[in-house]
Every structure is written in structure tokens, then in C-alpha cells.
Amino acid sequence: MPPKSQIDTFGVISLLGLALLLAFNQVVIKVTNNAFQPVFFAGMRSAGAVVCILLWMKWRGLKLTLPRAVVPSALMIGVVFSIEFIMLFTALDLTTVSRASVIFYSMPVWLALSAHFLIPGDRLTPRKSLGLVIAFAGVAWAILDRSDGGEASLLGDLCALGAAIGWAATALLVKATPLKTVRPEMQLFYQVAISALVLLAVAPLFGPLIRDPQPIHYAALAFQIVVVVTFGFIFWLWLMSIYPASGVASFSFLSPVLSVLMGWLLLGEQIGVSILGALTLVAVGIVLINRAPKT
């Protein structure tokens, strides 16, 4: 499919489905952290995804060889990917799905700010700048207000913020470096291959690797490997290669909404005024940032 300047019907349906998958993914990570230490869990997920992606590429007849000019970018994105998921999995171990999701899915804010300087044709306008300020206020509200009680860790919230910035950096590397010349499967393979090595190497620094695994946790790990990382991330990278980066990112505002609802419905998390207020500000800000200009 050739690149497009606007998101069409197929893109809308695809991004809606992906938003639902990523929202549910937060609950799955939260639950599976009860069985495995978060960084070790993230490393196992990446290692399993390496096998799945290799099988997928072999079936598609794709080769793993990268042009020499792409290698530095591939190494860099693998390291950034590792840091992103150390932050995200740790955040979901320390704080609620609702809080982590509101902060983590502020990614389009950091992407829009960075793209202004790094991606030609993706400049901040007055409307985008207003959206950025509103969304930033929502993130600050979520982090600074501790009145909701429950499992609300400041360290966990800051880790979620770091993960959001890492996700934005990953998107920038895909769009603004020679990585944009290789297939999504290749991009993802080097992300998970490098991150598997990094995450498994540093996991012992974060405490005991095994907690209390049950059969449901192994099923959740398999779901993460096959559905979320292998197919979900390949699909997201493919959409990034077809549609404008800010347009793809704009649909991520649905994921925190769905994540908050799933955290309440599936995990019984409290949803207080601060979470709802922060969620509203972040969602409004992201819509303003990524709203298509009138023609």
C-alpha cells in the first residue's frame, strides 16, 4: 500500500482495533507481573517474539540482512525499545493500570514536540501548541495529584512518563532515520532481538526473576508474545509506514480511555476525579495536536 497523506476508512478501523488491543495489554502486563519480575517478563516476551518473527519472515521469504547505513539506527532503536519497556513494565508493577495508561499514552504529545524539530512537514501550529499545553497539564495532574488513593506510586508514574517518551523516540527513529527504508518486520525484529539481550542481561539487577507463576500467567505470556508483540507491533509499524506519524499517534488517545475502563472493570481499580480530569485533558490535547487541518 503506498503512503497516504490522510487516514482513510481502513486506517480508522485498524487503529481502533489496535487501540483496544493495546488497552487490554496493560491489564495483561499488570496481572502477569504477579508471576514474573517485570524486566525479566519483558525480556522473555522479546525473546519469544524473536522466534515468532523469524518464523513469520521465513514464511514470507524475507531476509534479515540490513544495509550498512541502517545498522546504527537499528542498534539505537533496540536500546531505546529496551528502556521503554523497562519503564513500562516497572510502572505497571508499581502503580495502577489507570494511572500508568493515562501517562504512557501521552506519547503523541512528546512525538509532536519532537517532530516539530526533527521531521520535515510536521511542524507545531498554534492549535497543536494549545493541544500540547492542555495534554501536558493532564499528565502533570495525573502525576502530582495523589488524592485518588489506592496503588498510586510516584515512582511508577514517573516510569510511565519515561516509557511514553521512549515510545515517542521509537516512532521518531522509524520515521526520521534510514530505518524508514526497511520493512516493518525488519524494524521490529531488531527491536525485539536487541531488547531480549539487554532486558535479560539486566533483569537480575531488579530482584528475583520468578514470583508466583500460575497457568494463566503462562497463557498471558504467550498472548503477549504472539498477539501483542509479533502481530500487534508489526501492524503498528506498518501503519506508521503508510499514514502520517501524528495521525497514527492520535488514535492512541483511545487506549487510555479503554485502559481506565478495563482497569476498573477487570481489576476493580478506583477511578477518582484526578484520573478522569487528567484523562480528559490528555485526550483533548491529543485531538487538538492531531486534528487534520481544514481544506
Q: What is the pTM of this model?
A: 0.85
- Nearest CA among 194, 145, 156, 153 for reference residue 173: 194
Q: Average pLDDT of the chain? A: 86
Does residue 253 surpass a pLDDT of 80?
no
Q: What does the pLDDT read at residue 290?
A: 67
Non-local (6+) Cβ contacts of 49 within 8 A are 188, 192, 196, 225, 229, 230, 233
- Nearest CA among 28, 40, 39 for reference residue 86: 39
Q: What does the pLDDT read at residue 151?
A: 63
C-alpha cell at 28: 495483561
Question: Where is pLDDT greater, at 154 or 37?
Answer: 37
- Nearest CA among 228, 211, 251 for reference residue 39: 211
Average pLDDT over residues 53-76: 88
Phi then psi dihedrals of residue 210, to 5 deg: -115, 135
**Confidence band (pLDDT; 50, 70, 90) for 39?**
very high
Average pLDDT over residues 47-60: 90
DSSP run (H or E) holding 186: helix 184-202
Cα 225 to Cα 241: distance, rounded to the nearest angstrom: 22
What confidence tens digit (pLDDT) does each residue in 145-201 have?
766 555 668 899 999 999 999 999 998 888 888 888 888 888 889 999 999 999 999
Does residue 144 surpass a pLDDT of 60?
yes
Q: What does the pLDDT read at residue 235?
A: 85
Q: What does the pLDDT read at residue 1?
A: 66
